[in-house]
Structure 1
Amino acid sequence: MAEIKLKNSFLDVSAKGQKVLVIVPHEDDEINVAGSVMYSYVQKGADVYCVFTTNGDYSFWARTRMHEAWRSLQTLGVQHVIFLGYGDTSNHYPGGHWFYSPEEAVTAPSGHNETYGCNDFPDYAFAKQGIHRPYCRQSIKTDLKDLMDDIRADIIFAVDADVHIDHRATSILFEEALGELLCRPGNTYNPIVFKGFAYCTSFGAPKDFYAKNIKSVPKPPVREDNLIDISLYQWNQRVRFPVLPACRGFYLHQNILYQALFRHASQSAALHAVRIANGDAVFWQRRTDNLAFQAIITTSSGKVGRLRDFKLLDANQIDDKTMVFANYLWQPDNSDSDKVVNYRWQQPQKITCLRLAGNIEPTGRIEKLALTFDDGTHVILGPLPGCGHIAQYVLPKPHIITSCSLQILKVNGSNWGLSEVGFFASLETKRVVTPFIKIMIDNDFAYDYRLPARVKTCQLKLYRYQVTAPVVYTVVGGDGGEVGRNGLVRFASNSRQLVIRASLKGNPEIYDEIRLYRESSITLAKRNIAQWLENKMLTFYLKKYRKYTHIRHKYLKQL
């Protein structure tokens, strides 16, 4: 029986003409954060750009890390590679970090205090303007703004606030830079933004590649150094992208993510492929079409700028394992009896929904707010959820307004405030990323899914991205069986495989397919043994290769 090639509408639809930008701090983080989505978008025909904020020159020469990144990205088909050229630094480095220095240059562990590259890969500022920028906060913000303005990507995937200081600095300053672009008078650039972690959902995730079926990214355990279920990062609100066959499968040496990681020899990155290769890629989406960015905002007291930035969180000190949040809330003065924010636009605006987020700390929260439009509408909102989670309020009908006010009426505790106030013309962002569905089994994205031969039924579930309509399940291949409307698959007595298709009712161009195999215990055992052998042999080889790499670097100063 000829195997049917599995289809998924997200992976199949063309992205030709789209630009995708990935922003990460270090050379190898591009695979940790967005390896599979970069490969997907390359295959879909998009122009993919990958930007590194640092040279990765903490332990190895910058040119070594740059060439490794280039070779790694060539494996994935990414042609546009940019290095900003800032120093790779460690947490608690005594010489200071560019995050803490507004305009004065600091010296990185490598001894450099301004951006640099190599003959093949000059730093971005030098390639663009013929200058090297000093290592300071303003420099990297300027470079990030110029870069985003130059490329004007439709979709941006950016690293989030992992425990490493360079990750946190890149995440926060990316949001500052993008916020300044969004607030420019008359701005029309509103990319789709996805933030993702390099550590807790990738580099530091469980070694689960050799499971019986490809596993999706598991929820990280509660730890002091990750932000899961804080602020934006509610686990049940994550966006999950499906991955192409080259990024999954049963054998690691055939996986293109492993092959890309192997190019990062100085980091022995391939040893972590068993953690990084999963059945989905996990991100959190940020909307950039907040109408407040183009409003004139006044307040009865407090720092109004915190209501116009793109940041949901911030910190004064990012070296420690646990982030202590600061400078991210609009908080009226204690003596302020009005506690009001006023918004005014020069042109009429359509308001369909509102998003509010309060403080992350559990010390207090806003219980009640009043929203008043200039058409006389008065709406009571609240209480805001805890942990800085975002609450969305959908208005009974859209309002066309030129001004409104938001007043805090009731609070409890202390250190409460607003981290975001968002006004939106539509419930969903513009559809640059096509809506999609993905069939799941036990909350894992399913593709070629193996089951023991004794299994007679299998319950399917569904993941949805920006779709709500019901789905229709059909059997489109195999040797006997059926699937019910609720996704329950029943195999015929002698059936060995079934191909199931799910499509959106009334919108059949949104679809997903999986293949279910029923295999004997002997076949399953043979594959388990083959995977075990590959794991042992690859681990042995990669550890020996790591030793060879570091000896060569120590004595020959090159790789």
Structure 2
Amino acid sequence: MNIKNTALIIVPHQDDETNLVGNIMDVLTQYEVYVLYSSIDTNHRHAIVRKQEATAACAVWGINREHIIFLDYPDTANKAGTHFYTNGDKRIEESIEKTILSLKPVVVFATDFDFHSDHRMLSLAFDHVMGKILKEDHKYKPFVLKGFCYETAYYGVEDYVATDINLTTQKQSLLSNVSYEWDKRVSIKTLEKKRIIWKRKAYKALACHKSQYAVLHAKSIVNDDNVFWNRRTDNLLCNSQLTASSGDAEKLRDFLILDTSNIIEKNPYLISYSRGTWAPDGNNAWVKAKWEKSVKFDRIIFHGSLNTIEIRPINLTIYVDGNVIGSVDKINPYGRDTIFKSDIIIECKELKIVFSCDNVELSEIEVLYGDMQLPFDTGRIKEIKRNKLVDTYSEFGFQAIVFTTRLTRKVKKLVAKVLHRT
């Protein structure tokens, strides 16, 4: 009997499964796919409907009910106030950890730091859990892809044209996770050949979420790819003895490039990220990693403070087994990758990084070997001859669906209002 490897999709709300991976489920046929939903409507009757809709949407891709996990933590409004997670309730981390350790997925798709508080909560909770797991189990290194359910999907660019091949388009110049760069995204292409929008599987899944009128966002969500950012889990610092001259060195290998206690503020540039930053005391700071056996690496990636808005001087020197191998004199803003790349493979048992400046603020250091490789085959965009008749048919049909959906929503609201008065 063939036992498939497991892929886990971690999203907050019912319909986010389609927002995050709806266009590329066809490339995951080699995996047993599980979907975890962290949140649910606090209205019991609405919650039942949302679960039924999610189950129907997952069935579009052949995911059965036994592979759907509802954690049932409460939906929280995205407005000024507080959130159960940042109020100290960390049970969701225990739930995520239990699920990951039970399934041991080889591939994880997880929602990122979108502008909704539940999305941000789930992104941070997952990162905390993954950091803990990686330090405790040095052999388990899942392939992690994080992406946006809102920014590049639900509230993305309405750019679907049936025979005009479009990849996901960026709506803003900067992303809600300010440490990401658009040109470093991982674009995974669909294998699906159907072009009429309502025949696409992602559309059919959206149509299952009737209570959310999700099809109204289909032109933003349905595409020929989904985009992600790879969060590497093979950081060699995780299995080292890590020390520092001062400060909490664990922040440098906790998997959290972005960390904050503020998940309510919509503008990511008004948020303080100091919670996730290592800042030593005084000059001549250092970080040292020791391994029991020699390790190999060819690059070190430094992430500065996410609150730094411009390139800053850093003045750091890198030693391996007591010998200087290089230096870095500046660090990129917003916590983005500052890469030290070696032309040769470095093998050592001790790595020491010395800072000869007093403005050191780092959110993470990654010691890595080699380039990322996708663990599955992805589609290839093929040239399709532009057909205005097909495009017009697809667009006209979709607009008819939009009109009908909006009319249905208005009628339901009106009926509910009348019933409420009586």
Whether these two folds match at TM > 0.5 is: yes
How far 1:343 moved relative to its partner? 0.9
Task: Return the alpha-carbon distance in structure 1 between the equivalents of residues 416 and 74 of structure 2.
Answer: 20
Task: Return the alpha-carbon distance in structure 2 between the equivalents of residues 93 and 385 of structure 1.
Answer: 31
Asked if 1:202 corresponds to 2:153, the answer is yes
User: Which stretches in structure 2 are left out of the alignment for 5+ residues?
Assistant: none
Matches within 5 A, 1:4-15: none
Task: Return the alpha-carbon distance in structure 1 between the equivalents of residues 417 and 106 of structure 2.
Answer: 43
Task: Return the alpha-carbon distance in structure 1 between the equivalents of residues 166 and 374 of structure 2.
Answer: 28
Counterpart for residue 122 of structure 2:
170
TM-score normalised by structure 1 residue count: 0.69
Counterpart for residue 274 of structure 2:
326
Counterpart for residue 74 of structure 2:
87
From 405, 416, 421, the equivalent of 1:542 is: 405
Asked if 1:100 corresponds to 2:35, the answer is no
Which sits farther off after the overlay, 340-349 or 359-368?
Answer: 359-368
Matches within 5 A, 1:40-79: 40-41=27-28, 44-57=29-42, 61-79=46-64
Task: Return the alpha-carbon distance in structure 2 between the equivalents of residues 22 and 555 of structure 1.
Answer: 41
CA deviation vs aligned residue, 1:217-260 (integer Å, no higher than 9, x gap)? 1122236xx436x31x11111000111225x51x2221111111
Asked if 1:290 corresponds to 2:290, the answer is no
Which structure's relative contact order is higher, taking Cα pairs within 8 Å and 6+ residues apart?
2
CA deviation vs aligned residue, 1:119-169 (integer Å, no higher than 9, x gap)? xxxxxxxxxxxxxxxxx22x1111111111111111100000111000000
Residues 27 and 227 of structure 1: CA distance in aligned 2, closer, same or farther (over 3 Å)? same
From 72, 91, 95, the equivalent of 1:143 is: 95
- Decide whether the 8 Å contact of 2:107 with 2:144 is kept in 1: yes
Residues 417 and 168 of structure 1: CA distance in aligned 2, closer, same or farther (over 3 Å)? same
Task: Return the alpha-carbon distance in structure 2 between the equivalents of residues 319 and 206 of structure 1.
Answer: 24
Residues 417 and 159 of structure 1: CA distance in aligned 2, closer, same or farther (over 3 Å)? same
Query: What residue identity is the alignment partner of 2:153?
Result: S
From 339, 352, 360, the equivalent of 1:392 is: 339
Number of aligned positions between the proteins: 413
Task: Return the alpha-carbon distance in structure 1 between the equivalents of residues 300 and 101 of structure 2.
Answer: 28
Residues 97 and 187 of structure 1: CA distance in aligned 2, closer, same or farther (over 3 Å)? same
Counterpart for residue 385 of structure 2:
450
SS at match of 2:362: coil
CA deviation vs aligned residue, 1:452-494 (integer Å, no higher than 9, x gap)? xxxxxxxxxxxxxxxxxxxxxxxxxxxxxxxxxxxxxxxxxxx
Residues 362 and 165 of structure 1: CA distance in aligned 2, closer, same or farther (over 3 Å)? same
Query: What residue identity is the alignment partner of 1:179?
Result: G
How far 1:546 moved relative to its partner? 2.9
- Decide whether the 8 Å contact of 1:16 with 1:45 is kept in 2: no
Task: Return the alpha-carbon distance in structure 2 between the equivalents of residues 145 and 51 of structure 1.
Answer: 12
Task: Return the alpha-carbon distance in structure 1 between the equivalents of residues 391 and 143 of structure 2.
Answer: 41
Task: Return the alpha-carbon distance in structure 2 between the equivalents of residues 555 and 37 of structure 1.
Answer: 43
Task: Return the alpha-carbon distance in structure 1 between the equivalents of residues 379 and 221 of structure 2.
Answer: 23
CA deviation vs aligned residue, 1:414-454 (integer Å, no higher than 9, x gap)? 6x511121112x212465235x684xxxxxxx435224xxx
Task: Return the alpha-carbon distance in structure 1 between the equivalents of residues 231 and 416 of structure 2.
Answer: 41
Query: What residue identity is the alignment partner of 2:151?
Result: C
Task: Return the alpha-carbon distance in structure 2 between the equivalents of residues 240 and 156 of structure 1.
Answer: 16
Asked if 1:373 corresponds to 2:320, the answer is yes
Query: What residue identity is the alignment partner of 1:331?
Result: A
How far 1:187 moved relative to its partner? 2.4
> Which structure has the larger Rg?
1
User: Which stretches in structure 1 are left out of the alignment for 5+ residues?
Assistant: 1-14, 103-135, 439-445, 452-523
- Decide whether the 8 Å contact of 1:316 with 1:326 is kept in 2: no
CA deviation vs aligned residue, 1:83-124 (integer Å, no higher than 9, x gap)? 111001112365x3222122xxxxxxxxxxxxxxxxxxxxxx
Task: Return the alpha-carbon distance in structure 2 between the equivalents of residues 552 and 205 of structure 1.
Answer: 31
Query: What residue identity is the alignment partner of 2:247?
Result: G
Counterpart for residue 515 of structure 1:
none
Task: Return the alpha-carbon distance in structure 1 between the equivalents of residues 129 and 298 of structure 2.
Answer: 27
From 183, 199, 221, the equivalent of 1:236 is: 183
Counterpart for residue 418 of structure 1:
362
Query: What residue identity is the alignment partner of 2:212?
Result: Q
Query: What residue identity is the alignment partner of 1:154?
Result: V
How far 1:549 moved relative to its partner? 5.6
- Decide whether the 8 Å contact of 1:238 with 1:283 is kept in 2: yes
How far 1:50 moved relative to its partner? 0.6
Counterpart for residue 36 of structure 1:
23
Counterpart for residue 290 of structure 2:
344
Residues 404 and 241 of structure 1: CA distance in aligned 2, closer, same or farther (over 3 Å)? same
Query: What residue identity is the alignment partner of 2:300?
Result: L
Counterpart for residue 509 of structure 1:
none
User: More helix by proportion, 1 or 2?
Assistant: 2
- Decide whether the 8 Å contact of 2:85 with 2:121 is kept in 1: yes
How far 1:525 moved relative to its partner? 4.4
Query: What residue identity is the alignment partner of 1:347?
Result: K
Task: Return the alpha-carbon distance in structure 2 between the equivalents of residues 284 and 60 of structure 1.
Answer: 36
SS at match of 2:331: coil
- Decide whether the 8 Å contact of 2:283 with 2:355 is kept in 1: no
Residues 359 and 553 of structure 1: CA distance in aligned 2, closer, same or farther (over 3 Å)? same
How far 1:33 moved relative to its partner? 0.9
Matches within 5 A, 1:194-273: 194-210=145-161, 212-222=163-173, 226-227=175-176, 230-231=178-179, 233-245=180-192, 249=195, 251-273=196-218
Residues 254 and 549 of structure 1: CA distance in aligned 2, closer, same or farther (over 3 Å)? farther
Query: What residue identity is the alignment partner of 2:49?
Result: T
Counterpart for residue 113 of structure 2:
161
Counterpart for residue 512 of structure 1:
none
How far 1:555 moved relative to its partner? 9.0
SS at match of 1:382: strand
Query: What residue identity is the alignment partner of 2:406?
Result: K
CA deviation vs aligned residue, 1:500-526 (integer Å, no higher than 9, x gap)? xxxxxxxxxxxxxxxxxxxxxxxx443
How far 1:305 moved relative to its partner? 2.1
